[in-house]
Amino acid sequence: HVRVLGADPDGDTVKFEASNLPPGLTIDTDTGEIYGIPSSEGSFASTISLVEVSSSTSTATSVLLRVMPTAIASPTAPIRIVSVANNSELNAAIADAKAGDRIELAAGVYNGVHTVRASGTASNPIVFTPADGANGLVTFDGVGLSSPEVMNFSDGASHIIIDGFSIQNYSETFFMRSTHENIQIVNTTISDSLNAIRGNSINGLRVENLTVSNMTARPFSLGSITNAHFFNVSVTATPEMGFSFQ
């Protein structure tokens, strides 16, 4: 399900319309919810319109909807568990990261820019997640930093999973700077930041159970993305603009 949010600035009644949706999908004209089960793979240049009922005045936007064959596979059991309890230990674990590592963060507040250059593999990704007992207790806070990024993916870093963090006061929260594969960001909240996810070229982007709020710019700034999988994503960019994926 995808829900498109929109309203008339004067409070007049509006309805939603869509054309060239993927086969099997339809839009609810009252709620803006796009729903159904796609019956064909491929890319579809769709148009979503917000229509003022009383005057038939409409505003339209074009979107490219891609229906992919499968979601990205979940990881196997880790080869190595690396426990960290502070920023310096986290940076050391990142510098020494190897395919199959599960880097577990103790409860606490972390800050700074963390540059990830290592790659996992399709069956043995590198996973960042809270340690046992620390779910909901690991926060990245970029307050006071200049143009900070929680994680800066460089040198083609691929097969990376980010799972279960609270992030606030960052700029480019997750920035994929080159060409990457299988980047997964799940079970995470991002607030009071500039961008949530920014990337130039990603083959395999999985975003699930993500809540983004109080953003000061575009939540997602994505270039060439293939095999994208979004599920249960809720975004509020500004008081005037928001959308959610479910």
**Residue 3: per-residue pLDDT:** 61
Task: Yes or no: say if 223 and 199 are a contact pair by the CB < 8 Å rule.
Answer: yes
What pLDDT tens digit does each residue of the chain (246 aa) get? 566 666 667 778 888 899 999 888 888 888 878 888 777 777 888 888 888 888 888 888 777 777 765 555 556 788 999 999 999 999 999 999 999 999 999 999 999 889 999 999 988 999 999 999 999 999 999 988 766 789 999 999 999 999 999 999 998 899 998 999 999 999 999 999 888 898 889 988 989 999 988 887 778 888 888 888 888 888 775 544 444 333
Strands 101-105, 108-110: pairing is unpaired
Q: Read off the tokens for 233.
A: 């994503």
CA atoms of 140 and 122, how far apart (whole Å): 27
CA atoms of 55 and 189, how far apart (whole Å): 40
Place of tokens 């148009």: 47
Side chain identity at residue 91, one-letter code: N
Cα angle, residue 188 at apex, residues 182 and 190 outer, rounded to 5°: 110
Q: Whose CA is closest to 226, among 197, 246, 205, 245?
A: 205
Place of tokens 């606490």: 108
CA atoms of 16 and 214, how far apart (whole Å): 25
Residue 2 has φ and ψ, to the nearest 5°, of -125, 130
Residue 36 has φ and ψ, to the nearest 5°, of 125, -175
CA atoms of 231 and 31, how far apart (whole Å): 19
**Residue 241: per-residue pLDDT:** 43
Q: What is the pTM of this model?
A: 0.71
Side chain identity at residue 125, one-letter code: P
**Residue 69: per-residue pLDDT:** 54
**Residue 245: per-residue pLDDT:** 39
Strands 108-110, 138-141: pairing is parallel
